Chains A and B, each alone.
Chain A
Amino acid sequence: MTSDRRVRVPRSPSPSEVGFALGEETQDPGTEAGSGLSRRSFIVGAAATLGTGAVLAACGGDSDETEAGGAAEGGGDLGEVTFGSNYSDEKPKEALAAAVATTGLDVAINTVDHNTYQENFNTYVQQPDDIMAWFAGYRMRAFASRGVVGDISDVWSDQLSGMSEGFKSASTGLDGSQYFVPFYFYAWGIHYRKSLFEENGYEIPTTWDDFKALCDTMQADGLVPLCAANDGGWPQMGMFDMINLRVNGYDYHVSLMGGNEDWTSPEVKEVFAKWNEILPYYQPDANGRTWQDAANALGDKSAGMYLLGNFVTSNFDGDTQQDIIDDIDFFLFPEINSEHGQDAIEAPIDGFMMAASPANEAGAKALLGGMGQPAAADAYIGVDPSVVAAVSGADTGSYNALQNKAAELVGGSKFIAQFLDRDTDPDFAANVVGKAIADFLADPGSIDSVLATVEEQKSTYTFE
């Protein structure tokens, strides 16, 4: 049975849905299993082994809400802050409570199961807690521009010095103010096998021409240069995003995703023209392949490179395929237009927002600032080591190589995109753009009519 590995909805996974497959040296001492644990076995293990005790401790007897950090004295004068959380699985729930405790504030955590939380967010935000767990990018901007979440620019200027420029832009609404505090993320990049590159003397390509030359070499060596999957309609959105970010830059990308650009423009056509240049290097018939199936080609070294999120490693079994997990590394998508270089990366971010008019504004801002500190990230990672913290200065001692690389590349990026289906209206992404990409892959020659259809259907969606 592999169904548990699939993401249930045809949507790219949230950072909270997937974790980094952990190396042996970073396994969590609290669980019983032997070698490296994927998040999958992690959560189930947690439910099975420490279920009872942890939960009973977490709900705190008669008290209706989880009290965290009540013991610390520092924040007592700010009063109680309420915190809406979708960290409903055992590990994340415990980890979040640990992170909240580092702020020293009196916080009541309202945990709602993640699925209901996400589906009900529209109504929940009308009677929200002081701060709420949510996602960066368009999903945050949509609520920010409707005025239902609070401006926290002062938290950024006063307390969040540890966040890179890229994280700040990903937390910024259309009006230029900040509405979001990033907590953790995973990155999209071109994944490859270190050993394969070493054996064949391949160099990491940094420009488009180098990239295509490497693909040619791989083909000559009998490899499929690029793993390609598009089952569910979302995996190839990553390729569109990356080429668009490299060709037209981050600002154009945001504007295009916001519904403000013409999909039949020369800019967009250029993206597909560039894409067409590398289609010969693809695994054939990408549309029907699951990302896991494509990852297997990376696993058996029949393919060379794979543009996907870091969760690609979770396709491999922590017990029997640890060597593969440890052998996977990734690099930035190559430069196409020197004006933009390699300044942008895709990294879906989970984090927190503040209610438009929180009951305890001072407390909410203190809590948001506190959650953006290395100490909070460290406490979280101490319980759930399968994530990468957004804040620089977090203790990276428990990271494996891939986590370190993700922290380094994303931390050094000027712009962080959130992935197509979370950077625009989700329905527009799935029903219009996703379909257009599938049509393009099936018949690259039809791109003009495909884009005309996108532009036509775009008018039926309202963008924020």
Chain B
Amino acid sequence: MKPPRLTPARVLLQGFLITVAVAWLLPVATAVYSSFRYYEADTQVNGVFSLPTALTLDNYRDAWAVGEMSKTFGNTAFIVLPALFFTLLLASVVAYACTRYSWRFNIAFLILFTAGNLMPQQVLFQPLFQMLKRTPWPDLLSDTDTGSLLGTKIAVILIHVAFQIGFCTFVLANYMKTIPTELSEAAAIDGASVPRQFFSVILPLTRPALAALGTLEFTWLYNDFFWGAVLLNQGNERPITSSIAVLNGQYATDFNLIAAASIVIALPTLIVYLALQRHFIAGLTLGSTKG
């Protein structure tokens, strides 16, 4: 095969693409590189772009220990997994009711849910904070013993579910509209009840959308720092994203340590992305067209 002709436009384009690619990769590469170097003895003295005097895994070990990552990873799992499950479950129920049935307010209802996407979450912080503070919650069901929902991981789960349902409903509704109505009709004629139609016919067909949403939502929930920081006032309850804040020293900051921590923290999302890459990309375009 003949190589493509070298025209000035082509050189320009390639040059531009290479520059952008390098500019994009450089910070990540630097972070990875820094995470294997000593900070005080090496990076701080010789600069970020110098050759290393020695490579080490100490930063990873220290980041894991000082950031108390085994605990914060556990906290994140405790928050993200239920939040993800309930978000997808409830959103698919709403999407089902709003798209597969024609009733008086189904469009209005759908708009109400999807409009939630447009609301900046931080705006609702104060009212939510006060609501949670006034909602009694038995200490038996929390490990914070505060007597109210405020300060519990349950509260963070509830807020995540509430905020994410909007987007998920929007996406799932658009997807469910593409499923032929004849399928539901056939199931109804065969005597399937509404829940049966939902769980046995529609939900399995929605699986690609659910998988795509699951991967997207996982990264979003996982990366949340805001709600974890403002609602969980016990240091021990905080999610993984707060581990970096802990490593930010009061007087000195070991940036290589933070680089190592950031990489460890980014790993799960990377793994999820690589494992479910196909769904992930599908997820980005989901809902962009109506079938």
Binding site for B on A (CB under 8 A): 1, 4, 16-19, 39-41, 43-45, 47-48, 51-52, 55-56, 59, 64-65, 84, 88-90, 92, 110-116, 120, 123-124, 126-128
B residues within 8 A CB of A113? Answer: 235, 242, 245-246, 248
A residues within 8 A CB of B249? Answer: 43-44, 47, 89
Can you name 30 A-B residue pairings with CB atoms under 8 Å? A4-B251, A17-B251, A18-B251, A39-B252, A40-B251, A43-B249, A43-B251, A44-B249, A47-B249, A47-B254, A51-B65, A52-B65, A55-B66, A65-B236, A84-B233, A110-B236, A111-B235, A112-B233, A113-B235, A113-B245, A114-B250, A115-B245, A116-B229, A116-B242, A120-B233, A123-B230, A124-B233, A126-B129, A127-B133, A127-B233
B residues within 8 A CB of A55? Answer: 65-66, 68
Is B44's CB under 8 angstroms from A1's CB?
yes
B144-187 contact mask (Cβ, 8 Å, vs A): 1 or 0: 00101011000000000000000000000000000000000000
Is B248's CB under 8 angstroms from A115's CB?
yes
A55, B257: Cα distance in complex, Å: 15
Is A127's CB under 8 angstroms from B251's CB?
no
Size range of the chain B interface in the assembly: 35 or more
Is B62's CB under 8 angstroms from A52's CB?
yes
Is A48's CB under 8 angstroms from B65's CB?
no
Is A64's CB under 8 angstroms from B143's CB?
yes
Residue ID in chain A nearest B148 by CB atoms: A127
Is A126's CB under 8 angstroms from B133's CB?
yes
Query: Given the known A-B contacts A44-B249, A47-B66, A113-B242, are A59 and B71 also in contact in the complex, defined by CB atoms under 8 Å?
Result: yes
A residues within 8 A CB of B253? Answer: 4
Residue ID in chain A nearest B228 by CB atoms: A116
Residue ID in chain A nearest B151 by CB atoms: A127
Is B62's CB under 8 angstroms from A51's CB?
yes
B residues within 8 A CB of A41? Answer: 40, 252
The 10 closest A-B pairs by CB, nearest first: A112-B235, A51-B62, A52-B65, A113-B245, A113-B246, A40-B252, A111-B235, A124-B233, A55-B65, A89-B250
Cβ < 8 Å to A, chain B residues 57-93: 58, 61-62, 65-66, 68, 71
Is A59's CB under 8 angstroms from B44's CB?
no
Query: Given the known A-B contacts A52-B61, A123-B230, A127-B233, are A17 and B133 also in contact in the complex, defined by CB atoms under 8 Å?
Result: no
Is B146's CB under 8 angstroms from A90's CB?
no
Query: Given the known A-B contacts A52-B65, A64-B236, are A120 and B230 also in contact in the complex, defined by CB atoms under 8 Å?
Result: yes
A residues within 8 A CB of B96? Answer: none
A residues within 8 A CB of B61? Answer: 51-52
Is B62's CB under 8 angstroms from A116's CB?
no
Query: B39: CB under 8 A from chain A?
Result: yes
Smallest distance from the beta carbon of A58 to chain B beta carbons, Å? 9
Residue ID in chain A nearest B244 by CB atoms: A113
Query: B234: CB under 8 A from chain A?
Result: yes
A120, B146: Cα distance in complex, Å: 18
A114, B248: Cα distance in complex, Å: 9
Residue ID in chain B nearest A19 by CB atoms: B251
Is B129's CB under 8 angstroms from A4's CB?
no
A residues within 8 A CB of B66? Answer: 47, 51, 55, 90
B residues within 8 A CB of A43? Answer: 249-252
A214, B186: Cα distance in complex, Å: 101
A residues within 8 A CB of B146? Answer: 127
A residues within 8 A CB of B254? Answer: 44, 47-48
A409, B146: Cα distance in complex, Å: 43
B residues within 8 A CB of A4? Answer: 44, 251-253
Most chain B C-beta atoms within 10 Å of own C-beta, residue among A40, A88, A111: A88
B233-272 contact mask (Cβ, 8 Å, vs A): 1 or 0: 1111010001001101111111001000000000000000
Residue ID in chain B nearest A55 by CB atoms: B65
A41, B253: Cα distance in complex, Å: 10
